[in-house]
Amino acid sequence: MKRSWKRKVIVKVKSVISKIVLFFLYKGFKLTYRKDLSVKSEIEPWKEGFTFGINTGIQGVNLIIKKENGKLIRLKEENKLDLEIVFKSIDVAFLMFTGRLGVSKAYAEHRFILKGEIGKAMSLVRCIDIVEAYLFPKIISKRILKEVPNKSMGLIKTYGEILITR
């Protein structure tokens, strides 16, 4: 099936924005793992070497994170993931990444495929919800999250720390 030039441009724009969002999601995970007790308590039980991925279905637009030596590191690629979320299209991923669709609703509507243990996925989703609360303004967080968690730092401080730390 041949795509129109308009669709190609839309997919390219959504891919670029998704890459940016995944960068901030990864940095948000790292930051909240260090600073937020609820994220830390979710991730601590994960076994050493636990690897999870978020795949948008577009080549090169994914996020793979591994728990290693008490830290979260980003990998370029990994053949064996313990847990993977695969979006059915870049359009669905884009809705989630831009705060127009929450993880819980996307799961309920079968907008992505989950590969791995459901218990670990629930833990990951709780972490994603907390990270989203830090990354999105409260007005968006209230719309996409069932409950907005208490945060230990505000939006500006969160982005400041994300941008200055490695």
Of the chain, the end-to-end C-alpha distance in Å amounts to 42
All structural domains of the chain with their residue ranges? 7-164
- In tens digits, the chain (166 residues) has pLDDT values of 677 999 999 999 999 999 999 999 999 999 999 999 999 999 999 999 999 999 998 877 899 999 999 999 999 988 899 999 999 999 999 998 988 888 888 888 999 999 999 999 999 989 998 999 999 998 888 888 888 888 989 999 999 999 998 7
Sheet holding 112-116, edge to edge: 71-75, 62-68, 51-55, 83-87, 112-116
Question: Residue 71's pLDDT is what?
Answer: 94
What CATH number has the domain spanning 7-164? 3.30.1050.10
| pTM, full prediction | 0.89
